[in-house]
Amino acid sequence: MPFVTEELWQALPNRREALIISSWPQTSLPRSTHLVKRFENLQALTRAIRNARAEYYVEPAKRITASIVGSEEVIQYISVVSS
């Protein structure tokens, strides 16, 4: 919904032009490749669960449980994110 995104953009301070013609934001913060990889893994997990739900025709409103096999670090990270 582009109009909602534009409304949110215009509500931010110091915005003078429309989002569609604004330049991509720049940051001077360093990128942590470790954190980027963790986020990509979380995206992949979410995608896999959504694909399984679609494959088995599970209604969007229905809650399901999922068993996740991974290293202790992965399990701990997922536990923190989902709580």
pLDDT digits (tens, 9 = 90+) for 12-42: 998 888 988 988 888 888 888 888 888 898 8
pLDDT of residue 49: 92
Assess contact for 19 and 9: CB atoms under 8 A. yes
Could you tell me the pTM of the whole model? Answer: 0.60
Question: How far apart (Å, rounded) are the C-alpha atoms in residues 30 and 24?
Answer: 17
Which residues make Cβ contacts (< 8 Å) with residue 52, sequence separation at least 6?
A: 58, 66
Residue in the block written with tokens 């934001």? 25
Question: How far apart (Å, rounded) are the C-alpha atoms in residues 75 and 68?
Answer: 8
The runs of H, that is alpha helices, within the chain are 2-11, 33-55, 72-82
